[in-house]
Structure 1
């Protein structure tokens, strides 16, 4: 196995000393990069995801062009509903749609939870190929959507600001909701383990819509499944949990098998650190919209963020995915500002 030349992210997750803060950006492989847009013009979304050579090429672009300390495989969280037998359509500019939503027991019984290694082999093939191409330059991150977020799409059928249908389903049919969440959890655990086997050095679980739930409901419909996944996968590789919008859960999640917790910009670094203690690494929490500010301003904000988090047990990142309108040199400036940050005496 190739020795990693840059293992800063892994060391931060283990709580080991790092000589500088590691940095990567969610959605770094994609829509803000001109080279990605050329591929996008030639191939539709799922062709890009399902062709290992294309997924590898896209995954490597930010390593070469922006200088991040980790690669994250180019894929999508909605490959899991696909593997479960649910149709997912992706229209450019409109986002995903799932024409056949989950409504009842019959729909849940029809879902496939076996054979994810075969049905999503294109992801593991892309991971193996990317691992080879990286040749130990930086660690490779695998990922999946969290059960609550996947349920949201499977019940709602498309993106939403409020997730009313998904929440209605959870509150009026809790037994069915938990059955569905458990099925998603089971297949996701197998999927993440297959990703690690194929070459992922660590994995991240994205609970993008966790913030739509109250703290009590997060404790019922999201947290138990995140904990299950972390416990099952942590024996294979470090796990970062990123339930966006749930600062209230940082303390609880820091006591799980997860090695890292991703946080958004709705909490200060100091508060997040107080909740997490030194039990886990923290990751985040720069607002992606701030990457549109002038470069000197970006650098100042990065310095303030790092002053707040400190330099150990910390991975610099955004508080959500990078947006398509961010100039590449601004993304680069963010990464460089982290790399240049001097430990204050």
Structure 2
């Protein structure tokens, strides 16, 4: 990982490297834990920030992005921070407008309807220049963390970004985006290839700016057939892992990389061959099956059903015990199978995090 920021100022020494050791397959005294969307609307302090600031203003203001990134770490004994941003800043960088509409979520006023629309995009943009605000947020947050825990950078996967750019927002079927794969396969590859190139550059830039881990979110992976997965998703995910690691190697930097391909049960074995260090799992896959298909070379992450946090304190603790028993305490990072929901109770997150630490320590001591 980068020891100095882009200006040459040394980053603070890391105090808690537990999650980095787990990611590399090294022995850990207990299971590290963080939570997807751990900075978000379930926290009253986050809602206070958002009440005065539009969503993308928070993303584009390093001080605000840092503040909401650190909010959950003030409450919970988490083993990582993840920079507050959004996967859709990449479509913004290539020239598409994205609005965060209350009660609806991300919305594109203009979408890609046919291949000729690609000519209106700047797919060769200078991604560092366009998204410098996120890089500045990473650097500022890494210094502000003062070594407490590692800082995670992230991006959306090429297919997931393509789907948003065509659908214009959330969709249960992704039918418009999937139609491109069948009607316009060559143009789909052009778009995916272009996005992949930008993502490789952007992820390398994030590490130089201060990210100590990386996660790629292929949130719409499970909507694909196994054949489309192998044709339109897997090659680009592999290219990202290889491209980022190769680029960082030239800089004498190495950081763990996580792939989260939600609902892609059929693809775990293939994902394990892509070069990612960690495979993050949703809640619909059995841990022992995932370990069998992933093999022993990768670390697994996940996969408690987020809705389990609606249960009682005892129920949450019992579900954590079951999860740890099934995954084991080594080469494993505890997390939810997806992100926090806005109406969840912060105290339930506290119960989840404490249970992971306490029960994994007990399991290690008794083994």
TM interval, shorter chain, is over 0.9
Matches within 5 A, 1:139-150: 139-150=150-161
CA contact (8 A) 2:237 2:274 kept: no
The reply on whether 1:186 has 2:204 as its aligned counterpart is no
Quote how far apart the aligned CAs of 1:172 are. Answer: 0.8
Structure 1 gap ranges (5+): none
Q: Which residue in 2 is equivalent to 1:175?
A: 186
2:32 and 2:187 mapped to 1: Cα distance? 41
Contact 1:104 1:176 in 2 (8 A): no
3-state SS of the aligned residue for 1:234?
Answer: helix
1:60 pairs with 62, 66, 70, which one? Answer: 70
Structure 1 segment 262-341 matched on structure 2, within 5 A: 262-341=280-359
> Which residue of structure 2 aligns with residue 124 of structure 1?
135
Give distance in 2, aligned partners of 1:109 and 1:22: 45
Q: 1:254 aligns with which of 263, 266, 272?
A: 272
Following superposition, the deviation at residue 97 of structure 1 comes to: 1.0
Q: Say if 1:234 and 1:258, in contact at 8 Å, map to a contact too.
A: no
In the alignment, which residue of structure 2 is the partner of 1:159?
Answer: 170
Give the counterpart of 2:107 among 81, 97, 106.
97
Q: Does 1:229 align with 2:247?
A: no
Q: Is the 8 A contact 1:193 1:233 kept in 2?
A: yes
> In structure 1, the residue corresponding to 2:217 is in which secondary structure?
strand
Distance (Å, rounded) in 1 between the aligned partners of 2:15 and 2:355: 21
- Which residue of structure 2 aligns with residue 50 of structure 1? 60
Shift of residue 176, structure 1, vs aligned partner:
0.8
Larger deviation, residues 112-121 vs 73-82: 112-121
Q: 2:5 corresponds to which residue?
A: none
Shift of 1:114: 2.4
1:292-328 deviations in Å (ceiling 9; x for gaps): 1001100010010000000111000000001111100
Question: 3-state DSSP class of the match of 2:155?
Answer: strand
Paired residue for 2:48?
38
Equivalenced residues, count: 345
Aligned CA RMSD, in angstroms, stands at: 1.0
Provide the rounded CA distance (Å) in 2 between the counterparts of 1:104 and 1:211: 24
Q: Secondary structure at the match of 2:201?
A: helix
Name the SS for the 2:162 alignment partner. helix
Native 8 Å contact 2:41 2:47 kept in 1: yes
Tell me which stretches of 4 or more aligned residues in structure 1 moved more than 3 Å: none
Could you list the per-position Cα deviations for residues 61-102 of structure 1 after superposition, in whole angstroms to 9, with x for gaps in the alignment? 111112210000000000000001111111111111112211
TM-score (norm 1): 0.98
Distance, in Å, in 1 between the alignment partners of 2:119 and 2:194 is: 10
Q: Of 89, 101, 121, which residue of structure 2 is paired with 1:79? A: 89
**Partner in structure 1 of residue 17 of structure 2:** 7
Question: What is the rounded CA distance, in whole Å, between the counterparts of 2:349 and 2:219 in structure 1?
Answer: 22
SS in 1 for 2:181: helix
Bigger mean CA deviation after superposition, 94-103 or 35-44: 94-103
Using the alignment, how far apart are the partners of 1:308 and 1:222 within structure 2? 29
Q: CA deviation at 1:106?
A: 3.0
- How far 1:2 moved relative to its partner? 2.3
Segments of structure 2 that go 5 or more residues without pairing to the other structure are: 1-10, 249-254
